[in-house]
Amino acid sequence: METPILDPTDHQGGKAYGMLMEEKAKLLGEINEEFRNDDTYKDVEDLNEKLNSYKEKFMEFDLDNSGDINYMGLKLMLEKLGSPKTHKEILKIVSEVDTTESGTISYKEFLWMMLGGKNCILRLILFFESVGQEAPKQKGVAPPRTIDSLP
Ligand SMILES: [Ca+2]
């Protein structure tokens, strides 16, 4: 696969930024591929679909494009999801997911959380949000998911 190269003479930044996003999407895509091939998750329903939506969600809140969701990214995410949290709560949410104790949430940590069996605050919030989003879209096609049907 080709690796896009950032042009240091491009001072406008627009094109370079687009390439950076592309590069980031590719990196996350590679992690998705790892999880797709991981036997641990072979029984997960709609794994492919889930990984794609997690990737989008993750990119949306990796505000500084560092590849990790930091404190501010998480704070904004929770506000946008309609569940604003206090400073203390946010630190607790990070610590539940942050297995490397880096203070930030990497994409792998995010996936381990979303696909793992352990219940934590962020996972519950994101599940409730996806239920709310999917219900109107699937109207007349498939019954909307209910909280009871969640793994
Ligand atoms: Ca971490």
- 106: tokens are 């990497």
Which CATH number characterizes residue 99's domain?
1.10.238.10
Q: What is the mean pLDDT of residues 29-38?
A: 97
Whether 78 is covered by a domain: the verdict is yes
Q: How many domains is the chain built from?
A: 1
Count of other CB atoms within 10 angstroms of residue 132:
12
Whether 45 is covered by a domain: the verdict is yes
Give the Å distance between the CA of 146 and the centre of ligand 1. Answer: 31
Whether 142 is covered by a domain: the verdict is no
Range of the domain at 67: 16-129
Q: What is the mean pLDDT of residues 36-44?
A: 95
Give the Å distance between the CA of 104 and the centre of ligand 1. Answer: 5
The predicted pLDDT at position 142 comes to 57
- Measured CA to CA, the distance from residue 45 to residue 20 in angstroms comes to 31
Whether 143 is covered by a domain: the verdict is no
Give the Å distance between the CA of 143 and the centre of ligand 1. Answer: 36
